[in-house]
Amino acid sequence: MTKPKEVRLGGFSLALLACVGRLGDNGNVRRITEQLGVDLGRPVSTPQMYATLPRLAAAGLLSMHEIPARPVQGGRRAMRYELTDLGRARIGRSRT
């Protein structure tokens, strides 16, 4: 298995990683967006989340898990995000 390429992280991405870490296994896009907006004290756009979360997952900092669609009309599948050990390490390095 090849090691993921290390990506440069700005303040938004680091705040996002910390937010996902605090949410634990409850990290779907809606919850992350809401909580990150509270953490940052400003609204966070959903498209920004849909762009950033997969980029951080591709870098190995987050894991993505598909949540099956609800068995109701209009039920859609969703993704759940969790912080990986590599993501925890990156947060820790940013604080030193």
Beta bridge partner(s), residue 80? 28, 65
On whether the CB atoms of residues 49 and 35 are closer than 8 A, the answer is: no
Overall average pLDDT of the 58-78 stretch: 81
* Whole-structure pTM value: 0.83
More confident residue, 67 or 46: 46
pLDDT tens across 26-48, in order?
Answer: 889 999 999 999 999 999 999 99
Q: What domains appear along the chain, each with residue ranges and CATH number?
A: 11-94 (1.10.10.10)
pLDDT tens across 1-10, in order?
Answer: 566 566 788 9
pLDDT of residue 5: 63
